[in-house]
Amino acid sequence: MRGSTAGGGRTAGRRPSPSAVVLPGRGRQVTRRGDRRRRIEESFDRFRRAVANFLGVAANRQSAASLDHARLMFELWLRETGVDRLPTDETLARCLPNRSLRPVLDRAVAERDEVFRPWTTRGPERLADLVRRTAPGAAGDAPRDWLGRPGTSDGTLEGGGTPQLWRVGTARVDAVPDSAPFPVAVPLLDGAHLHISSTPKSRITAETMVESLLLRVFSHFQPGLVHLHVWDVGQLTGSLPGLYPLARAGLLTVHDPARPHDLLDELAEHIRRIHTSVLVDGRPSLGALSEETGRRKEPWRVAVLFGNRSALREEQQQKLQRIARNGLSCGVVLILVDLPVTVNSAVESLRLGDDQTARCTMTGAHVTVTPDPPLPRELVPRACGAIADEMVDRRSRVSTFADLLPGERWSYRSSSGVQAPVGHHDGEPVYVSLGDTAPHALIGGPSGSGKTNFLYALLGGLTARYSPDELELYLLDFKEGVSFAQFAPGRKDPSWLPHARLVGVNVNQDREFGLALLRFLAEEMRRRANRAKLHEVTKLEELRAEDPEGRWPRIVAVIDEFQYLFADRDEVTHEAAALLEDVARRGRSQGIHLVLSSQDVSGIEAFWGKPAIFEQFIMRIALPKARRVLTETNLAAMEIPRWHAVINHDSGVPYGNEVARVPDSTSRGTFDRLQVEMWRSRTDSREPTLFDGSRVPRLRDLPDFQSLGPDASASGRGPVALLGQVIDVAGSAARLPLERTPGRNLAVLGSAREDACRVLSAAARSLSEQWAEKARFTVLCFVDDAERQASELARFLTDRHGPAVPGGGEPITDPSRLPEVLAEVAAGVTGNDKTPGPHYLLLFGADAALPKLEERGTGMRTGLDDLKAVLRHGPERGTHVLSWWRATSRLRNALLMGGGLDDIGAFVALDVHGQELSSLAANQVISWSPRPQRGLFFDRAAATGPQVLIPCEVDLDPAGGDAAGPVGAPKENAGMGGLVP
């Protein structure tokens, strides 16, 4: 229409077509019709062509869309099924020849490879490395490297440790079939239980897998550290026949298939025992305990239960679940094969299929595990035989002192306690542990039963494990002899035990020394408690954690033949019992431990009368034929052979018995050698303080004497006379301060001449040390027997102080001169001269001059009057009388009337009984039973009560007199004996 309308408008200007020109009339009509038709036909042609074109395009589009759709569907399918399934999925595999799907497949494979590249390049190797580290030695190596060789690890870190993983096979990630295989290992022992399920076709594989795993364990640990229990529901003889040789050495128990409850009860009982007697300190597990203490206290018990894919009876199932729940912390490990059970604790599962491969919880669902090939059949029993032989050998071997020592010295920490083996039982070490649970030990055994040897074994094991910063020893031996002398330096052997801070030998008559030690421990306990309080903690272990820079060693105080401490019903016994109770009760939390040993505990009344003390000694050690150390119903000590001991950490009840054979630890080449080795590695050169009750100490060795300085007045402290040594842990001197105050005079009482001379000489010698030339000393001696000592003293003093010592180097021995000397001194101290220098009158045997003193001179004054005047007025003017009276009564008679006695403020009583002294000590009751070479020093002005005094040997050689003995000079040790190398 548009064409015609438009055409009508345009024809005027157009040239006419030939037909329109040639045909006139009707002919013109025909021509027009034909035209129209042709045009119509042409239009239709065009239309048809357009339609055909359109339909062709649509068909093309449809087939392209179909192909796209097919590819997408294929990709979806591929992604859903997984590229890795191509080789095994038949339907998927059928699509592979289709070339149009190839790009989809190639892309999916490329993407997978890209995603897994980090894993394929490093993953397997990293896993292999991890297994190498966590499954060392037999736990992960190839069997040729360990099969047939019994294990050596003792479970401690230094002894080979406990592997975290144990190898079972190799694996590949399913999605990456071309990547390298990697080893698969599972946790066991302290780590997890193992649950294996198999099909009937793969049951054998499960069994060989368990066999290999167990052999790895047995070949890692030394025989005895793992005990195996096997129960098999289906077989009377049990599975794992290759392991049977282990039964010969008691390492394998095969349980009755009909009685699974026996095994379950045994395991449950074991768990209970570990909780009640081993994990009592709040340690969560044996593993944690051994990490902390450095030793595996209890062997592992591995129980393998083979089932038949049906569950145990309900009650047994519950028991099994309980064991699974609580076992790992107590060293009980379950390996369950085809035994359905759900457990609420760490368990690794391994599911074996018919194709002999497995899925494992360790590796996850997308990894195929191929178990390692079984161990060569004939080698398994042979390897187990070698392990059993080693076990039998270990049991029968008599252990030596060297077996008690660790591989590395001083590598243990004493935070939670100290422990060391003291012997062996069946080749296994038997330990003594001192800690918060069993803080103190009591050792009993008749004479010759080996107590001293036992103490050496114990101390050897302890000192080799703990450094002197972790453990300090205070060692006291009441009996006469040499037993502890080894620990102090001696003439022949200069070494000492670096851990020893105090060694007391031959203490028997000096029970006060035991008391001094207990006082020292009580004081140390208080110091530690105060420090703990500052840190708001209560126990040493916590204090050590709070104050890591501090030095807080555990203290072990050993008192051999401690019954001497309670020998009499007297003040010493009374105080010792009170102190012992205090230390025993409170020492546990402050890291202070007592080890008491005695021939016969039953004789110690003070001990038995105080069950509270006795109860604190939870650790009991009974040597053969020991009485009363264990409970009355426990007769083990009566039955053990010599050189054995019953070690009991349970207060002596039979249940806690462990019997150990104790090695010889005192003969040459044992403890002595260890001591020299440790002495050479010491970092602290302080010697232990040595107290030897049989030895006369030397004044110059006393630290108090060595610290005296010249010119006492300049020091501001005033002069002090050292009279001898008192019995304390520091080896202190008996100090008599001689300030210018009334009463500062001394009387030595008794007929023991040697001791009296030593006391006066020590006083003069120490005063001389403080005054250089300034002081006057007047030495008077009226007893022939004492003239030698008085002369030596006079010569020494003259040598040092010159004309200030009258007599020209000799004492005044003529009694008739005494009144004259006293008159002169009395005039001096009562006269106007306010500053007479210090003057010391040393009167040996004053009582011998009494007749002369009582004679009346001119003016009716007696020498006694002058003596009283000097005693009264002298001290304030620096003049002091240090006198020796052979009889107390003579002193009293001479000075009681008219004063004088009160002006003597200090006494040393030698062979004088206590009752004689009370009149001199303001009627105070003084208990003192005289004993050789000991005196009682009593200073009324001092806060301390009477103290036992040991008179010292005084070096009065003028040549050596100037120099005090050097601090730390090797001491003579008269007691050293057979242990010297």
Ligand X SMILES: Nc1ncnc2c1ncn2[C@@H]1O[C@H](COP(=O)(O)OP(=O)(O)OP(=O)(O)O)[C@@H](O)[C@H]1O
> Toward ligand X, which CB reaches closer, 561 or 866?
561
> Toward ligand X, which CB reaches closer, 598 or 766?
598
Q: Which of 323, 341, 371 is nearest to 195 (CA)?
A: 341
**852 among the known binding-site residues?**
no
**151 among the known binding-site residues?**
no
CB of 619 to ligand X, least distance (A): 18
Which of these ranges, 521-529, 663-671, 851-859, 938-946, lies near ligand X under the rule CB under 6 A? 663-671
Work out whether 662 is an interface residue with ligand X (CB under 6 A).
yes
Name the pairing type of β-strands 226-232 and 300-306. Answer: parallel
* One residue of 451, 628, 868, 873 binding ligand X per CB under 6 A: 451
Considering only residues 605 to 644 of the shown chain, the ones binding ligand X according to CB under 6 A are 643
Work out whether 460 is an interface residue with ligand X (CB under 6 A).
no
* One residue of 197, 416, 433, 453 binding ligand X per CB under 6 A: 453
> Toward ligand X, which CB reaches closer, 626 or 794?
626
Which of these ranges, 342-350, 382-390, 444-452, 773-781, lies near ligand X under the rule CB under 6 A? 444-452
CB of 908 to ligand X, least distance (A): 35
> Toward ligand X, which CB reaches closer, 138 or 455?
455
Strands ordered across the beta sheet of 358-360: 182-187, 165-173, 364-371, 358-360, 347-352, 193-197, 332-337, 300-306, 226-232, 252-254
Q: Which of 650, 672, 646 is nearest to 660 (CA)?
A: 646
Work out whether 664 is an interface residue with ligand X (CB under 6 A).
yes
Q: What Rg do the C-alpha atoms of the chain give, in angstroms?
A: 50
CB of 661 to ligand X, least distance (A): 7
> Toward ligand X, which CB reaches closer, 457 or 619?
457
> Toward ligand X, which CB reaches closer, 445 or 461?
445
> Toward ligand X, which CB reaches closer, 450 or 468?
450
What mask, x for binding ligand X by CB under 6 A, covers residues 328 to 347? --------------------
> Toward ligand X, which CB reaches closer, 29 or 447?
447
Which of these ranges, 71-79, 340-348, 361-369, 449-457, lies near ligand X under the rule CB under 6 A? 449-457
Work out whether 550 is an interface residue with ligand X (CB under 6 A).
no
Strands ordered across the beta sheet of 592-598: 428-435, 417-425, 657-661, 644-648, 619-622, 441-444, 592-598, 554-560, 471-477, 500-505, 689-692
> Toward ligand X, which CB reaches closer, 448 or 899?
448
Work out whether 813 is an interface residue with ligand X (CB under 6 A).
no
Which of these ranges, 287-295, 447-455, 512-520, 698-706, lies near ligand X under the rule CB under 6 A? 447-455
Residue 923 burial by Cβ neighbours in a 10 Å radius (0-12, 13-18, 19+): exposed
Query: Cα angle vertex 847, ends 845, 852, to 5°?
Result: 110
> Toward ligand X, which CB reaches closer, 205 or 483?
483
CB of 660 to ligand X, least distance (A): 10
Which of these ranges, 292-300, 446-454, 728-736, 822-830, lies near ligand X under the rule CB under 6 A? 446-454
**353 among the known binding-site residues?**
no
> Toward ligand X, which CB reaches closer, 199 or 400?
400
* One residue of 208, 452, 563, 616 binding ligand X per CB under 6 A: 452
Work out whether 429 is an interface residue with ligand X (CB under 6 A).
no
Q: How far apart are CA 551 and CA 530, in angstroms?
A: 15
Q: For residue 728, what is the enclosing H or E element? A: none
Q: Are 231 and 224 in contact (CB under 8 A)?
A: no
> Toward ligand X, which CB reaches closer, 598 or 745?
598
Work out whether 445 is an interface residue with ligand X (CB under 6 A).
yes
Task: Please report the DSSP string for 67-118 in residue order.
Answer: HHHHHHHHHHHHHHH-GGGTTT-HHHHHTTT-GGGHHHHHHHHHHHHHHHHH
CB of 642 to ligand X, least distance (A): 8
Q: How far apart are CA 175 and CA 116, in angstroms?
A: 9
**447 among the known binding-site residues?**
yes
Task: Please report the DSSP string for 129-186 in residue order.
Answer: HHHHHHS-GGGTS-GGGTTTS---B-SSTTTT---SEEEEEEEEETT-TTSPPEEEEE
> Toward ligand X, which CB reaches closer, 422 or 606?
422
- In 904-965, which ranges are continuous DSSP H helix? 914-917, 958-961
CB of 562 to ligand X, least distance (A): 12
CA dist list (Å): 125 to 118, 130, 135, 320, 358: 11, 9, 15, 38, 21
Strand segments (E) across 609-760: 619-622, 644-648, 657-661, 689-692, 720-726, 733-737, 746-749
CB of 481 to ligand X, least distance (A): 7
Which of these ranges, 150-158, 386-394, 406-414, 443-451, lies near ligand X under the rule CB under 6 A? 443-451
Work out whether 745 is an interface residue with ligand X (CB under 6 A).
no
> Toward ligand X, which CB reaches closer, 346 or 402?
402
Phi and psi at residue 342, to the nearest 5°? -110, 125
Considering only residues 581 to 610 of the shown chain, the ones binding ligand X according to CB under 6 A are 599
Work out whether 449 is an interface residue with ligand X (CB under 6 A).
yes
Q: Are 369 and 358 in contact (CB under 8 A)?
A: yes
Q: How far apart are CA 642 and CA 623, in angstroms?
A: 8
Strand segments (E) across 689-732: 689-692, 720-726
**450 among the known binding-site residues?**
yes
Neighbours of 699 (CB within 10 A): 28
CB of 978 to ligand X, least distance (A): 9
- Helix, strand, coil share (%) of the chain residues, nearest 5: 45, 20, 35
CB of 388 to ligand X, least distance (A): 28
* One residue of 508, 651, 666, 973 binding ligand X per CB under 6 A: 666
**445 among the known binding-site residues?**
yes
- In 831-968, which ranges are continuous DSSP H helix? 850-854, 863-873, 888-896, 914-917, 958-961
Q: How far apart are CA 863 and CA 861, in angstroms?
A: 7
Residue 692 burial by Cβ neighbours in a 10 Å radius (0-12, 13-18, 19+): buried
Which of these ranges, 323-331, 451-459, 510-518, 537-545, lies near ligand X under the rule CB under 6 A? 451-459
Total of chain residues touching ligand X, rule CB under 6 A: 14
Neighbours of 979 (CB within 10 A): 20
Q: How far apart are CA 243 and CA 382, in angstroms?
A: 9
Work out whether 932 is an interface residue with ligand X (CB under 6 A).
no
* One residue of 4, 91, 447, 685 binding ligand X per CB under 6 A: 447
**Which positions make up the binding site for ATP?**
445-452
**Which positions make up the binding site?**
445-452
The residue ranges that bind ligand X (CB under 6 A) are: 445, 447-453, 599, 643, 662-664, 666
